[in-house]
Copies of this chain bind each other. A is one copy, B any other.
């Protein structure tokens, strides 16, 4: 069943929807981990990180929606279920329990750095098959690199 007519050729569609599905998993997992830290962080910088993490979560949720809707607009089927995230995410995970502020800064720097690396590969991969999708991935990368700086600067 293929309800939505893709503006892309079959082989381009395959490459591009794979990139978008990968971005979707990264972004949804970022949102879940950002909330995990938002709730369990303690330490002198609690309040500042608590607020900053919510901004990152809001951005991740917004970007995830953009990416998934782009995937379906190209005739793909985004998959953002918990089991899909648990099985396919490459994002470094957080432990349970309280997280000291220093640990949150280190872990979020790694998490964002890891996602940025994959986003840049997707920017390269989609340039030829679909510059329209590439433009979306470029804007998301830009935003994630800004948050990466704003977390790392607190070390």
A: residues with CB less than 8 A from B are 1, 3-5, 7, 28-29, 32-33, 35-36, 39-48, 50, 52, 61, 64-65, 68-74, 77-83, 85-87, 89, 93-94, 96-98, 109, 113, 116-117, 120, 123, 127, 131-132, 134-136, 138-139, 141-142, 145-146, 148-150, 152-155
11 new A-B contacts at CB < 8 Å, known A7-B116, A39-B71, A86-B86: A3-B42, A3-B155, A5-B113, A35-B64, A36-B79, A36-B80, A39-B72, A46-B150, A48-B48, A50-B150, A123-B132
- Closest B-chain residue to A55, C-beta based? B47
Option from B39, B52, B120 in Cβ contact (under 8 Å) with A69: B39
Q: Output the nearest chain B residue to A3 by Cβ-Cβ distance.
A: B42
Q: Interface majority SS on A: helix, strand, loop or mixed?
A: helix
| Set B35, B64, B142: member contacting A136, Cβ < 8 A | B142
Structural contact, A97 and B132, CB atoms closer than 8 A: no
Chain B's nearest CB lies how many Å from the CB of A77? 5
